[in-house]
Structure 1
Amino acid sequence: MKYLSMIGLAAMLAGSYACSQKPTQEPIKEESKLMIKAEQVAEHAGQPVFRYILDNGTMQVELSNYGGLITKIIVPDKDGKKENVALTFDTVEEYLTKDNPFFGATAGRVANRIGGAKFELDGKTYELAKNNGNNTLHGGKEGFNKKVWTPETYTNDSTVGVKMSYLSVDGEEGYPGNLQTTLWMELTEGNTLRIRFEGSTDQKTILNLTNHTYFNLGGIKRDVLDHEFQFWADAYTPVDDELIPTGEVKDVTGTPFDFRTPKVLGDQIAANAGGFDHNMVMKMEPSDEMKHFVRVRHPESGRVMDMYSDNVGVQFYTGNFLSKFAGAEGKTYDKHWGFCLESQNWPDAINHDNFPSPILNPGEKYEHTIEYKFSVEK
């Protein structure tokens, strides 16, 4: 097992990459506790697969360049007890051989569903894989969650992380254009897990990237029905029986989707016939503004997670389809044992003229930032 020290990393990476980092809000400490460990654990398609551990002295994030995966998020509770709060397998290697419902995955080219598994660009119809009933889901049969990304570790005064890149070639999974994608996953001194995406193409295409981590702030001992949620969302997009948006944008007032004040998840699920798998509307139009999307609190442990993003929506999924799934540490994940907050464009946007456009043109740059900030309340 080979680990890379921070001193060695700093020497390798001094200058070129640190200069390109966006400024952060966290104060710079005089003595940083930021560390990164890297271990090659497998090979896939002739490429090395790594397991990384990002550590800031308070919390740890484990991830991999296979699938752009987040495999563990270990944070303290109000008594200082550290536990994993992300549904996962015991090892990265298991992701190579076992099916799973996109645990911690980078979803793309297009996250979420595209109705009828097809779309039209400039009069041409593109047919996609039907991997979710009559629809396509999270990029198709071999989406970005099953690709080996080219990794590069980095650090600066207040963050430590892994930069990953992947070239999706023209025609992959039916999508047009050679798409160059870059992904940064980093941990700050202020207990924020930051995920950043960039993308560029040589042909007109569509793009919608996100991360698909399942969270359970209670340490994954039971379901998440006792979690409290607050969304800064005034509207949502209703769906049909196949979970494809109808094209409506509906006010949350008087519905189970009204989380504008903190609500206990179990109460809202009971009012919504079993769960959520819906896009919460965070912005009506794209902008660069980082907005406070969601606050989640687990009263028993005291753990709190605040989510921020510059995107227009967040898919709120409450693990409705989990059933007796063999997860890490001998645990069995069942219905509502995790929740996802997938920052992204509105689902099936290419097939709805009134939704924000997912089209990316040559010469344009796709940019998307997500932040999950962890804290405790005693």
Structure 2
Amino acid sequence: MNSFFNTCPAINFFGYMPNGAAVNSCELTNKKGMQLKVITFGATITSLKIPLKNGSFIDVVLGFDTLEAYLNSFNINSSPYFGATVGRYAGRINNSTFSLNGKSIDLNSNNNGHSLHGGNIGFSQKQWKIKNVNEGENPSITLSYFSPDGEENYPGDLSIDLTYTLSEENELIIEYVATTSEDTIINLTHHSYFNLDGHNSTILEQDLIVHSNKMLETNEHIIPTGQFLNLENNPFNFNQAKKCPQKIDTTFVLNDVEEYSASLYSANNNLEMLVFTNQPAVHIYVGGNCNNEIKGKENTDYHNLSGICFETQNFPDAPNHDHFPNAVLRKDEVYQHKTMYKFQN
């Protein structure tokens, strides 16, 4: 790490990887007091504190206090991926295989014979490098990761820059830019579990809206069948605000509108989060259960209703369905994904 980072007050030591590599954390605060903490392991958001009208702050994402807990969380049944950056391909790829340019490619399997969230060791478990930190107006941090050709059997050297920005309007803006040395597939997403009543609460009394008229039909392994389900008269129709469901693991096809794609609202804190994205879908997932194996932040026991994910992304298994949005990144193209979470009282 160069002298800039050695003297940057926003960057602190967080822990050591098993191979001895140092993991650092970065803390950003905007002029309204909104505070973001990110670690280089998985480019993971560990804390997001939002100012409330009463002058207090609330941490609205689930996470852990130590690097050891983040590392151990990938060894428990159904790893939660708290706050992580997911790739090279978010969601599931059926039978861990797809065809590209007439060639069949077999990925590593890590979920009932399928590939989930990038395979055995995806981007969420990689050490990212801090490329730049801006502590001025609209503070931001840019992290980078180089995924070599053949990692988890994906083709092409993939270079990614990920920028987290805290706007002065209390927006968390996430921007991904990626290029590849040869044709590959890509689908990046962010995996924070949000809870507007605090990370040690339940999401059941919060209101959910998703601007979508159809969702992906899936089989028993949550693999898309290629069919769409109309949400009219469907219990998962959230075009009008409804309480968060107790169980959901569903990809919603987003309506092509300029307004926000989804929202979460807590009447308890009079706090609303609006989700904006340039991606074609949002995968909604409720969970966070650590099966009492690992304690969350502040010694919290996370349970099945601790948080809700808004995974903005392309469709899972898109490389295996010609009528799904294109997931191929050509070697002369640039992948650009932008998602924003806007918080307002």
Q: TM-score, normalised by structure 1?
A: 0.83
Quote the Cα distance in structure 1 between the aligned partners of 2:296 and 2:14: 19
Structure 1 match to 2:220: 241
Residue type of the partner of 1:174?
N
Quote the Cα distance in structure 2 between the aligned partners of 1:292 and 1:331: 32
Alignment of 1:80 with 2:55, yes or no, is: yes
With 176-185 and 77-86 compared, the bigger mean Cα shift is at 77-86
Structure 1 match to 2:328: 359
Contact 1:312 1:345 (8 Å CA) reproduced: yes
Give the secondary-structure state (helix, strand or coil) at the position aligned to 1:304: strand
Residues 156/264 of structure 1: CA separation in 2 closer, same or farther (3 Å cut): same
Equivalent residue pairs, number = 335
Structure 2 match to 1:19: none
Quote the Cα distance in structure 2 between the aligned partners of 1:292 and 1:148: 32
CA drift at 1:93: 4.8
Deviations 1:285-307 (A, max 9, x none): xxxx8651111101111111111
Residues 157/88 of structure 1: CA separation in 2 closer, same or farther (3 Å cut): closer
How much is the aligned-residue C-alpha RMSD, in angstroms? Answer: 2.2
Contact 2:255 2:261 (8 Å CA) reproduced: no
Quote the Cα distance in structure 2 between the aligned partners of 1:176 and 1:238: 28
Structure 1 match to 2:112: 133
Residue type of the partner of 1:182?
D
Alignment of 1:40 with 2:13, yes or no, is: yes
Q: TM-score, normalised by structure 2?
A: 0.91
Give the secondary-structure state (helix, strand or coil) at the position aligned to 1:339: strand
Contact 1:291 1:310 (8 Å CA) reproduced: no
Residues 118/318 of structure 1: CA separation in 2 closer, same or farther (3 Å cut): same
Contact 1:275 1:320 (8 Å CA) reproduced: no
Q: How does 1:321-332 map to 2 (within 5 A)?
A: 323-324=291-292, 326-332=295-301
Structure 2 match to 1:28: none
Deviations 1:87-114 (A, max 9, x none): 1101345323443410000000001111
CA drift at 1:120: 1.1
Determine which of 7, 27, 44 is the counterpart of 1:53: 27
Determine which of 79, 85, 91 is the counterpart of 2:66: 91
Alignment of 1:188 with 2:181, yes or no, is: no
Residue type of the partner of 1:277?
D
Alignment of 1:68 with 2:43, yes or no, is: yes
Structure 2 match to 1:210: 189
Residue type of the partner of 1:313?
A
Quote the Cα distance in structure 2 between the aligned partners of 1:306 and 1:81: 21
Give the secondary-structure state (helix, strand or coil) at the position aligned to 1:133: coil
Residues 107/291 of structure 1: CA separation in 2 closer, same or farther (3 Å cut): farther
Q: How does 1:1-378 map to 2 (within 5 A)?
A: 37-44=10-17, 45=19, 47-56=21-30, 57-99=32-74, 100-155=79-134, 158-265=137-244, 269=245, 275-283=247-255, 292-319=260-287, 323-324=291-292, 326-376=295-345
Quote the Cα distance in structure 1 between the aligned partners of 2:274 and 2:119: 30
Residues 299/353 of structure 1: CA separation in 2 closer, same or farther (3 Å cut): same
Residues 244/331 of structure 1: CA separation in 2 closer, same or farther (3 Å cut): same
Quote the Cα distance in structure 1 between the aligned partners of 2:49 and 2:176: 23
Could you list the runs of 5+ residues in structure 2 that have no partner in the other structure? none
With 347-356 and 115-124 compared, the bigger mean Cα shift is at 115-124
Quote the Cα distance in structure 2 between the aligned partners of 1:320 and 1:246: 26
Residue type of the partner of 2:252?
M
CA drift at 1:160: 1.0
Residues 97/277 of structure 1: CA separation in 2 closer, same or farther (3 Å cut): closer
The structure 1 segments of at least 4 consecutive aligned residues displaced by more than 4 Å after TM superposition are none
Residue type of the partner of 1:361?
R
Quote the Cα distance in structure 1 between the aligned partners of 2:112 and 2:43: 25
Residue type of the partner of 2:29?
D
Quote the Cα distance in structure 2 between the aligned partners of 1:246 and 1:283: 20
Quote the Cα distance in structure 2 between the aligned partners of 1:217 and 1:281: 24
Residues 53/156 of structure 1: CA separation in 2 closer, same or farther (3 Å cut): closer
Deviations 1:135-168 (A, max 9, x none): 1111011100111111133327631111111111
Contact 2:291 2:303 (8 Å CA) reproduced: yes
Quote the Cα distance in structure 1 between the aligned partners of 2:64 and 2:108: 27
CA drift at 1:77: 3.2
